[in-house]
A and B are shown apart, each in its own frame.
Chain A
Amino acid sequence: DIQMTQSPSTLSASVGDRVTITCRASQSIANYLAWYQQKPGEAPKLLIYDASSLQSGVPSRFSGSGSGTEFTLTINSLQPDDFATYYCQQYNNYSPTFGPGTKVDI
């Protein structure tokens, strides 16, 4: 399996901050990387796929970058609705795996 790691595990921020989360893969996954947002008691929500493509309906303050083994999710001007846990996920092979998550709190 391809192992995914994320840093930091928890991030404290304020409304209006610019936030960056890093995701690393144990081997190259090209750009087959997605980001999901999950709020307590809810299902994950697809934000970004193919490392940098914004899913329809997702605010433009979310952006993704990277390729190979290192990726970042950036949230510009953090909004109250953005406090959640963020997961990266690779889909380079037939066994997709997720990172352990980064919790963004106040």
Chain B
Amino acid sequence: QLQLQESGSGLVKPSQTLSLTCAVSGGSFSSGGNSWNWIRQAPGKGLEWIGYSYHGGSTYYNPSLKSRVSVSLDRSKNQFSLKLSSVTAADTAVYYCARGYCSSASCYDYLWDVWGKGTTVTVSS
């Protein structure tokens, strides 16, 4: 069954770029209409969707983060990545990668049925 695993820098300095990768195992990007997403959760706070990319390469981002975010797929490595630039302490959070859900009838860009375990990123000098 499909599994996702986040990796990347756990400590990022203010104003720098946060970079994370999500390794996909037990499946691939090439099949289906799933979106590939990043979602975060600040300490003690709720969940915030960051953005997604499709296997076809199209992307869509949370308008509040759009100017700083990039999500990309690497089909050769079966992984997808997140870059968030000009980070501040407000970007400190647990970052999850997640797959968009497809039922037998349709695919949903904004529902997520498979999640990684999450990785903690702290923004601090």
Contact = CB atoms under 8 A, between A and B. Distances in A.
B62 A95 contact: yes
Interface stretch (A16-24, A38-46, A72-80): A38-46
Interface string B104-116: 0000111111011
Interface of A: 1, 34, 36, 42-46, 49, 53, 55, 87, 89, 91, 94-101
B47 interface: yes
A35 to B, nearest CB: 11
B46 A49 contact: no
Contact of B111 (A43, A49, A100): A49
A42 B96 CA distance: 10
B113 A101 contact: no
Given A49-B111, A96-B110, 5 more contacts: A43-B118, A87-B46, A91-B108, A98-B47, A98-B49
